[in-house]
């Protein structure tokens, strides 16, 4: 017999020893029987206990309860077994005591009455347990059928209440996973639709201009040069869109692989500002760089943070009118370095602010092509948020009339 099977039997033997001690503690002080009667009593009780242990052991090893169809029958069988053991033990003891036939029949009748009352009472009490388990069974069937909002009453402190609480936790997890699956599926469909649109637009423009030149519709050198410049710009837009889609796919695939190294944030900011200076000058936009002198060395992936800065500054230049100003600043606070990109003029509508970092989300004004031919993909801010959060940081935006728009991201030191 292994330990798992032996443990209940050890508990039964312990209970029998406790029953011996309790019975003797009541009989000896009150009746004060002679030693020979005590020995006879122990013999009777020992024989009764041996029969009980043998019967229970046989039933336990054969696992007969598992052959029953319902829990109601199992509980009834347990109750009947308990009553039968009590009845048999009492009758066995009475017969060994050689009491009169009259007293024997009277005691037997009273035992039958008590046993029937005990069985009925126990079944009434057990019905509440059966009802709770039936509710769990019904809820499980509903959950299996696809109703993920199914919940059960988990009041109480017993094992059934704990099982009900675990069932509710499992149902909540399944509902959250199902919602996540639907969101991912919707995101996939939106990705295909939006990417198809954004790829089709520059391709159609390139094809139209190229056909015009090939068919001889456009022949003057100035127009041909302008068409070639426009074709080059559209190819740049296509390349940028493909890069954005590739980086978005990397973010969706799981944790971003960061090639971290000690980096000076001020140097990254300067490099990015040099790259956008020509575009800012072309749009008559003033760019201001304000970096605190006490910025610490950061353990970051420089290419990812540089991409964040590029995306935020690109977005700021796109939404700043001629004569406006874009300010790039950085400051240090204990444990964090915060970077702000502020632009004057444009304001993000309040309804758009909660969605501004969602992929492919673009406010109405940014759907149009800028005067420089720039066309946003709607992925830049989503990529920026992904890279910042991959570093353990956070990103936010505030926008109000008269103050412009400010994007802020913070990186842990």
Q: Which phi-psi region, left, alpha or beta, contains residue 324 (left: φ > 0; alpha: ψ -120 to 50)? A: beta
Q: Of 166, 198, 232, which one is at a domain's C-terminal end?
A: 166
Q: Would 183 be classed as within a structural domain?
A: no
Q: Would 87 be classed as within a structural domain?
A: yes
Per-residue pLDDT band at 365 (split at 50, 70, 90):
very low
Q: Of 113, 137, 166, which one is at a domain's C-terminal end?
A: 166
pLDDT recorded at residue 1: 47
Query: With 60 as the cut, is the pLDDT of residue 297 above it?
Result: yes
Same domain, yes or no: 156 and 261: no
pLDDT recorded at residue 370: 47
In total, the chain counts a number of residues equal to 413
The SS3 assignment for 330 reads strand
Q: Would 53 be classed as within a structural domain?
A: yes
Same domain, yes or no: 155 and 268: no
pLDDT recorded at residue 340: 93
pLDDT recorded at residue 371: 46
In the block, tokens 């973010």 appear at 251
Closest by CA position to 105, among listed 95, 115, 114: 95
Query: With 90 as the cut, is the pLDDT of residue 395 above it?
Result: yes
Q: Of 139, 166, 193, which one is at a domain's C-terminal end?
A: 166
Name, of 151-160, 208-217, 334-343, 374-383, the range with top average pLDDT: 334-343
Higher pLDDT, 317 or 51: 317
The SS3 assignment for 398 reads strand
CATH number reported for the structural domain that contains residue 294 in this entry:
3.30.565.10
Q: Would 198 be classed as within a structural domain?
A: no
Higher pLDDT, 299 or 199: 299
Give the number of domains in the chain.
2
Closest by CA position to 397, among listed 325, 324, 315, 283: 315
Same domain, yes or no: 281 and 406: yes
Same domain, yes or no: 141 and 266: no
Same domain, yes or no: 413 and 293: yes
Q: Would 359 be classed as within a structural domain?
A: yes
Q: Would 106 be classed as within a structural domain?
A: yes
* Contact between 231 and 263 (Cβ < 8 Å): no
Q: Would 380 be classed as within a structural domain?
A: yes
Q: Would 226 be classed as within a structural domain?
A: no
Q: What are phi and psi of 350, to 5 degrees?
A: -55, -35
Closest by CA position to 285, among listed 256, 247, 327: 327
pLDDT recorded at residue 367: 40
pLDDT recorded at residue 361: 65
Query: Which of 95-104, 173-182, 256-265, 281-290 is least confident?
Result: 95-104
Same domain, yes or no: 12 and 147: yes
Residues 241-293: tens digit of each pLDDT: 777 777 777 776 667 778 889 988 888 898 888 888 888 888 899 999 888 88
Same domain, yes or no: 159 and 268: no
Q: Both tokens of residue 241?
A: 């869109």
Query: With 90 as the cut, is the pLDDT of residue 232 above it?
Result: no
Same domain, yes or no: 151 and 265: no
Residue 105's domain spans which residues? 3-166
Q: Rg for the chain (alpha carbons), in Å?
A: 41
* Contact between 160 and 132 (Cβ < 8 Å): yes
Q: What is the mean pLDDT of residues 379-407?
A: 88
Query: With 50 as the cut, is the pLDDT of residue 369 above it?
Result: no
Same domain, yes or no: 264 and 406: yes
pLDDT recorded at residue 283: 84
Same domain, yes or no: 399 and 293: yes
Question: What is the overall mean pLDDT for the chain?
Answer: 80
Same domain, yes or no: 19 and 140: yes
Same domain, yes or no: 291 and 406: yes
Residues 298-318: tens digit of each pLDDT: 999 888 898 899 889 988 888
Q: What is the mean pLDDT of residues 43-60?
A: 76
């Amino acid at each position: 017999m292994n330990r798992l099977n032996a443990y209940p039997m050890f508990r039964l033997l312990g209970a029998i020893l406790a029953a011996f001690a309790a019975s003797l503690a009541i009989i000896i002080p009150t009746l004060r029987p002679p030693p020979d009667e005590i020995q006879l009593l122990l013999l009777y009780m020992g024989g009764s206990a041996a029969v009980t242990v043998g019967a229970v052991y046989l039933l336990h090893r054969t696992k007969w309860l598992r052959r029953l169809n319902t829990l109601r029958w199992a509980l009834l069988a347990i109750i009947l077994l308990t009553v039968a053991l009590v009845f048999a033990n009492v009758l066995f003891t009475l017969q060994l005591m050689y009491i009169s036939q009259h007293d024997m029949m009277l005691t037997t009748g009273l035992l039958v009455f008590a046993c029937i009352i005990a069985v009925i009472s126990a079944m009434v009490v057990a019905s509440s347990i059966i009802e709770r388990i039936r509710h769990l069974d019904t809820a499980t069937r509903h959950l299996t059928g696809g109703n993920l909002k199914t919940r059960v009453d988990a009041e109480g402190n017993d094992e059934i209440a704990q099982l009900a609480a675990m069932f509710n936790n499992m149902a909540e997890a399944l509902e959250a996973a199902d919602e996540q699956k639907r969101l991912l599926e919707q995101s996939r469909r939106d990705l295909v639709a939006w990417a198809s649109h954004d790829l089709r637009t520059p391709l159609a423009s390139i094809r139209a201009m190229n056909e015009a030149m090939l068919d001889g519709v456009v022949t003057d050198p100035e127009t041909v040069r302008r068409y070639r410049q426009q074709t080059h710009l559209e190819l740049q837009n296509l390349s940028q869109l493909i890069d954005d889609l590739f980086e978005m796919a990397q973010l969706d695939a799981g944790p971003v692989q960061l090639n971290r190294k000690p980096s000076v944030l001020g140097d990254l900011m300067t490099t990015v500002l040099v790259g956008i200076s020509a575009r800012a000058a072309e749009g008559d936009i003033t760019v201001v760089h304000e970096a605190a002198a006490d910025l610490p060395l950061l353990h970051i992936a420089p290419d990812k943070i540089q991409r964040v800065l590029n995306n935020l500054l690109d977005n700021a230049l796109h939404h700043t009118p001629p004569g406006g100003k874009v300010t790039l600043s950085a400051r240090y606070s204990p444990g964090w370095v915060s970077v702000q990109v502020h632009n004057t003029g444009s304001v993000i509508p309040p309804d758009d602010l909660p969605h501004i970092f969602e992929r492919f989300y673009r406010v109405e004004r940014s759907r149009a092509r800028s005067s420089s031919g720039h066309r946003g993909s709607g992925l830049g801010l989503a990529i920026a948020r992904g890279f910042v959060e991959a570093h353990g940081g956070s990103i936010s935006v505030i926008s109000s009339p008269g103050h412009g728009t400010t994007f802020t991201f913070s990186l842990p030191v």
